[in-house]
Each structure stands twice: as structure tokens, then as C-alpha cells.
Amino acid sequence: MKHEVRRSDTQLLMEARTCAEPFGVFYERHFASVLAFFRRRVAGPEDAFDLAAETFAAALASVPRFRPGPEPPQAWLFAIARHKLNEALRHGRVQDEARRQLAMQPIELDEEAIEIIETTALAPAVQLLENLTPAQREAIEARHLDERGYAEIAAALRCSESVVRKRVSRGLAALQAQLNEERTS
Amino acid sequence: MSDPIRDLKRELLAAAERQRRSAPIATGLWGRRRTPRRILLVTATVSIAATLALVVSAPWSDSPGLLENAKAALTASPDTVRHERWEVTSTSTEAACTLTRGPSELWADTTPPFRWRLLWRGLPMLEEDVLPEATEPDCWKGITYELGGTSKPVCTATGCEPTLRFIAPNTISAAGIEPRFLPDPVGGLREAIDHGLAHDEGTTQLGGRTVERIRFDPPPDCDADQACRPPIYLYVDPETFYPVEIHNPQFRGVSSVTRFLTFEYLPRTPANLKLTDIRAQHPDAFETGSP
């Protein structure tokens, strides 16, 4: 049985200089986080997807110049993402310079596609939720995913409303801390 | 079923393939496509900066005192000009030759935009300088270049200043070499120490003098093509911590020793700054846009 060794991101980007396939692996590994990054910052899933596409196109165009450094390649990728977001905010629309430069075809988004984008953008957040304590996760899921009231959740969990509020508040703070860490990493 | 993520991947892979096919031939030291691989490897032996930059961090180190001192010795104060002069002796077991190339000499201003000038005596950096009939590049005597540029690009509305090359008798032209490929033997050492790659191996004797030996190991998940080399050894003076020699053990049939003839920080006087400026060295040269 053949076991494929997981290639590091640096290795993928170095290999992508001479071969297309490693960039595909790099894309699959990081697309959801980049999409989620934009989804939290722009109003619609279409804009988030366009920004993510533009980010990966710019990253691909920069691959020949990529040089491994002290920071992990994700930091390089998110630096491009932040730049693309600022550019979009400055111009009031998502730029397509990198995609045009690479002669990429625009991707049409129908209802089904938007649903996939939304689910994918949510996936990293679900992963973050898994890092919370079970009590905090349960409280946040009940309050923010199931949209139940505090009194109802307190009754179900057999604790006071103030305990539920505290769990939700602490869980949200922990999520915020994780997101901040992700942004600066 | 419409899947935009899969569609985008397909578009990216197609673009990657187009980009790969249209990549320029002579984009720099490691960007060339037609140059035989062996040339690049031998050239890489003198560029510890590039080698170490490819090495992924392994978070350990010891003897921070020595390593901190070595790092400090490689860190110039802002008002200086770093001056390095070195030669490289490389041995090819495959081609059965040992030869010394150099000395090469670098003057680098430590203040932005970090102007530098390099007298390079080593293997060709540009593809047009590679002899088509050459079959054993490890045994080539080398070529001389005079290059100049800035480590931080100086850009205007018309574009960024390229790396320049002086061509005798009196021409300066764009060299087609990216500044990041500047072959500075100590360029990556500070960063490598910072990233925990350095390992103090204590005092030893080298050519009849006492030196400190620092080992740079490849990481466990290193890139098989470049970074999975054997450890690289840096020997530093125990008093000044300035580099004395860098030893690249045999890798793909070639080993090398970089020997520092001079390593010093000069005051940033007009005369010393002139040494970093290729235009100032050749005030009467004609400038052309391409080589």
C-alpha cells in the first residue's frame, strides 16, 4: 500500500514553479479559510468568492517569485488576501486584474453554487467551534445556529439564564481570539 | 451539479499550465530553464543565503549566547557599509576536479534602499554566458561580472530600477538578474539563527586557528530538491564572531568551502558609499535598457 507523504506548503509552492498540480493541492488546502476570511468581511457570498478567486490568481502569478521565509506560506497568502480586500474597499468593487492577467474565465454563480460557497465559508468556523469547551459550544450552537432564546436554552440545559449568557459570551470571546490569531498568523 | 470551487481550481490549474509554458528563460540565478541543472547547484553552493532560506524552521537551538553574538556580528548598524570579500573552493567528485573561484567582493549599504555593488568571480549567472559546448560546468573556471542595484527596489512611475551590469569598456545595462538572487554568502545567516536553525558545536581548530563552529541542519520535512542537503557549517571568529568559512558538505557530487578574506563594516562616508554604487564607479558609462 502506497502512503503519500504530506508535502509542506513551502514544498508545494516551490514545486508549483515547474508543475501545475502542486498549486491545486495548495488551493484545496487553503481555499476554505481564505473564503471564510472574506465572507466575514463582505456582505455577499459572490463578492467573497470573487475576492478568494482573485487572491489565488494573484498567488499563482507570484509563485515564480515566492521565496520561503521566516513566515509560513499561509501568512504570505493572507497578506495577498488582505491586500485584495483593501483594494476592493478602496475601489468599491472586487478587482479582477490577476485573473485577467492569467486569462482566467469568469465563473458563473447560480443558486446552487452560492449554497456551496456559503457552506464552505462556514466550514472553518465550525472547525473553530470544535476548539471550544463542550459547554460553550453547546450554548453557542443553541443560541446562534438554532436561534433559540436564552430562557429556552437554560431550561434545556437545566441551568440559569445568566450561566448560558456567560457561556455564550466566553465562547464568542474565545472564537474572536482564535480569529485574531488566524489573522495575524 | 455546479461547483464553483472545483471550477475555480480547474481555471487556476489551466492558468498555472499557461504560466509555466510561457515562463521566461533567463529570469535569474535559479529561474533559468535551459541551463544545465549542475550549474545551478554549484552556484547554489556559494549562496548560503538562498540555501538557508529554503530550509524550513526547526524550532530548537542552544548556546544562545554564542548564536546571539554571531547574529549581532552579522547585523550592521545603520550607518555602515558592509564589505565582504570571499573565494569559493568547490570539489566535484563526479567531474573529478577541485578549483577555487574568486575572490568575489561585495559592498552593501546598510541604509535603505540598501544599495550594493558586487564584483562576482564565479559561475555564470546569465544563460547567455553559459558556453553551449560546456559539459562539465563544475570544472569551469568562472566568469567575472560587475553588478549593482538595491535590495529594496527603487520605483518611479516608469517602473522599478533593475539590477545593473557594467560591461567593459563603458556600458551599463539591465542585467536581467533579480536582486533577491544577489549572491551574498552571509545573507541568510541572521534569519537562520532567528529561526532556530543554528546549533553551536563549540570551539574547534581550522587552518591553525581557533574558531567557533555553528551547524545549520535541514528540517525533517525539508524540500527534497534543494533544502534536504547535509548540514551546513559556519565557522566564526571567537572574538569578533565574524564569519571565517562556510562549509557545504557534499551534495549531489559537489562540496564547497567559502573562505572569507575580508568581512568588515566600513563607515558610511561618501567614498565608501561610492563603492556601493555601480553608476558612481563608472560615471562615463553609457546606459542601455537591455543587456
Residue B27 CA to residue B176 CA, distance in Å, equals 6
Measured between beta carbons, which residues in chain B are less than 8 angstroms from residue A38? none
Answer whether A103's CB lies under 8 Å from B15's CB: yes
What is the average per-residue pLDDT within B168-186? 71
Which chain A positions have a beta carbon within 8 Å of B224's beta carbon?
11
What is the model's pLDDT at position A18?
A: 81
Residue type, A132: L
Q: What is the largest CA-CA distance in chain A?
A: 61
pLDDT tens per residue, range B231-278 = 889 998 988 888 899 998 876 677 889 999 998 889 999 999 999 999
Whether A1-120 and A130-185 share one fold: the answer is no
Fold of A1-120: Rna Polymerase Sigma Factor; Chain: A (1.10.1740)
Domain boundaries, chain A: 1-120, 130-185
pLDDT at site A97: 84
Q: What is the pLDDT of residue B270?
A: 94
| Confidence bin at B31 (pLDDT 50/70/90) | very low
Secondary structure of A54-116 in the HEC alphabet?
Answer: HHHHHHHHHHHHCCCCCCCHHHHHHHHHHHHHHHHHHHCCCCCHHHHHCCCCCCCCCHHHHHH
Q: Which of B22-31, B199-208, B213-222 has the lowest mean pLDDT?
A: B22-31
Among B22-36, B178-192, B275-289, which is the least confidently predicted range?
A: B22-36
Cis ω for the linkage preceding B267 (within 30 of 0): no
What's the Cα-to-Cα distance from B170 to each of B110, B142, B283, rounded to whole Å?
28, 22, 9
Q: Which carries the bigger pLDDT value, residue B11 or residue A157?
A: B11
Q: Where are the beta strands (DSSP E) in chain B?
A: 80-92, 97-109, 115-122, 143-150, 155-156, 159-160, 164-167, 171-174, 198-206, 209-216, 232-236, 243-251, 254-267, 286-288
CA-CA distance, A176 to A178, in Å (whole number)? 5
Q: What separation in angstroms does the CA of B267 have from each of A61, A141, B50, B64, B279?
A: 41, 64, 27, 29, 20
Nearest C-alpha in A relative to B197 = A70
Q: Is the pTM of this model over 0.90?
A: no
Which pLDDT band holds residue B188 (cuts at 50, 70, 90)?
low
Q: What is the mean pLDDT of residues B171-189?
A: 68
3-class DSSP state for residue B279?
helix
Q: Report d(CA B144, CA B123) in Å as an integer.
A: 8
Spans of chain A below 50 pLDDT? 1-4, 185
Across the interface, which of A24, A67, A108 has its CB nearest the CB of B53? Answer: A67
Question: B85-116: b or e for each residue (b if 16 or more CB lie within 10 Å)?
Answer: bbbbebbbeebeeeeebbbbbbbbbbeeebbb
Consecutive H or E run containing A179: helix A161-184
pLDDT confidence of B32, banded at 50, 70, 90?
very low
Residue pairs spanning A and B at CB distance below 8 A: 100
Residues of B in contact with A51 (CB under 8 A): none
CB contact (8 A) between residue A103 and residue B15: yes
Question: What DSSP letter does each residue of B248-262 carry, written as one string?
Answer: EEEETTEEEEEEEEE
- The answer to whether the Cβ–Cβ distance between B16 and A68 falls below 8 Å is no
Rounded-to-integer distance, Cα B42 and Cα B138, Å = 7
Partners of residue A112 in chain B, C-beta under 8 Å: 1-2
Q: Which three cell numbers stand for residue A48?
A: 467573497
Closest alpha carbon to A107 in B144, B92, B2, B110: B2
**For B160, which DSSP code?**
E
Give the pLDDT confidence score for residue B16 in this predicted structure.
86
Please state which CATH number belongs to domain A130-185.
Answer: 1.10.10.10
Q: CB count, 10 Å around CB of B194?
A: 14
Predicted local confidence at residue B138, as pLDDT: 66
How many Cα atoms are found within 13 Å in the side-chain-facing hemisphere of A10? 19
* B210 CB-contact burial (10 Å; exposed 0-12 / middle 13-18 / buried 19+): exposed
Q: According to the model, what pLDDT value does residue B26 have?
A: 26
User: What is the per-residue pLDDT across B42-62, written as a single tens digit (0 to 9) for each?
Assistant: 333 334 343 333 332 223 334
- Of the partner residues B3, B12, B55, the one whose CB lies closest to the CB of residue A56: B12
Q: Please give the share of chain B, as a percent, with pLDDT higher than 70.
A: 64
Find residue B11's DSSP bridge partners. Answer: none
Using DSSP bridges, classify how beta strands B171-174 and B97-109 pair: parallel, antiparallel or unpaired.
Answer: unpaired
The answer to whether B12 contacts A116, with C-beta atoms less than 8 Å apart, is no
Q: Is the peptide bond before B113 cis (omega within 30 degrees of 0)?
A: yes
Check residues B219 and A60 and name the one with the higher pLDDT: A60
* Mean per-residue pLDDT of chain B: 73
Cβ(A57)–Cβ(A94) below 8 Å: no
Beta pairing, strands B164-167 & B232-236: unpaired
Is the link from the previous residue into B24 a cis peptide, with omega within 30 of 0?
A: no
Q: Count how many Cα atoms sit within 13 Å of the Cα of residue B107 in the half-sphere of its side chain.
A: 20
B222: pLDDT confidence band, cut at 50, 70 and 90?
low
Going from the N-terminus, what domains does chain B have, and what CATH number goes with each?
16-288 (2.50.20.10)
Q: What is the C-alpha separation between A37 and A82, in angstroms, rounded? A: 9
* CA pair distance B222, A11, nearest whole angstrom: 8
